[in-house]
Amino acid sequence: MRSAIDSREHLIEVATKVFAREGFAGTSLRMIAVEAGVSAALLVHHFGSKQRLIEETIETTLGEWMRDKDHLAELPLSEALSQWPQTAQDGQQKLAFFKQVMLSGGKPAQLLLERMHFEARERLTAMTKSGVMRDIADIDTAALLLAVYGMAPLILSEPVKKILGGDITDPEISEKLARSSLELFALIREGQTPPQTKERAGEK
């Protein structure tokens, strides 16, 4: 018998890959089992149920952004989302997995959106106080919209890809989208250089 820990980690790895590609509902335990070269029963043996396996993959990939809001403010989710695509194929898979989590609804999607909402509000508040940005009447709602807009191109990535003729993870496409979103969010006072964080927020 092999090392139980190694096997578990490998299974989570494969499961995450298939979930990212096919979605949670569209993935059967047998699909994961075949791709991992094991039996479906082994998945149940290790994780108890499909639901628990799903929860473990989510915890492994996105767990650090689903816990205490305040402590991890220095590792923003929005920044991670924009940096993942640069890390070759693994990053694209992470992005696709994140999309599936948001589409699956439930508590994880709720927590992740709340997290991005929190980050956007912090960013807006800081920029307003420093005078880089003109005042906003309802910062809370504006921050929520920024969070939602940030996820939108990813969630609609399939049809967007066909229109743009390339995936949104392509550096060229990504840059074009970032530039356009910056142009739309003309929050910055003219003559000032927009901070980098602002650019990342509106893009992905």
- What distance in Å separates the CA atoms of residue 115 and residue 102, rounded to the nearest whole number? 13
- What distance in Å separates the CA atoms of residue 133 and residue 21, rounded to the nearest whole number? 40
Q: Using CB under 8 A as the criterion, what x/- string covers residues 86-125 for binding a copy of itself?
A: ----------------xx-x---xx--xx--x--------
Min dist. Cβ of residue 95 to DNA (A): 23
- What distance in Å separates the CA atoms of residue 70 and residue 47, rounded to the nearest whole number? 31
Q: Do the beta carbons of residue 11 and residue 36 sit within 8 Å?
A: yes
Q: Given the rule CB under 8 A, which of 38-46, 53-61, 74-82, 180-188 is the region that contacts a copy of itself?
A: 180-188
Residue 148, judged by CB atoms within 10 A of its CB (0-12, 13-18, 19+), counts as middle
Q: Which does 118 bind (CB under 5 to 8 A by kind): a copy of itself, DNA, none?
A: none
Complex with a copy of itself: residue 57 or 181, whichever CB lies closer? 181
* 14, 29, 58, 187: residue in contact with a copy of itself (rule CB under 8 A): 187
Instruction: List interacting residues with DNA (CB under 7 A).
Output: 1-2, 4, 7, 27-31, 37-42, 44-46, 49-51
For a copy of itself (CB under 8 A), the number of binding residues is 41
Residue 27: which region, alpha, beta or left (left: phi > 0; alpha: psi -120 to 50)?
beta
Min dist. Cβ of residue 15 to DNA (A): 11
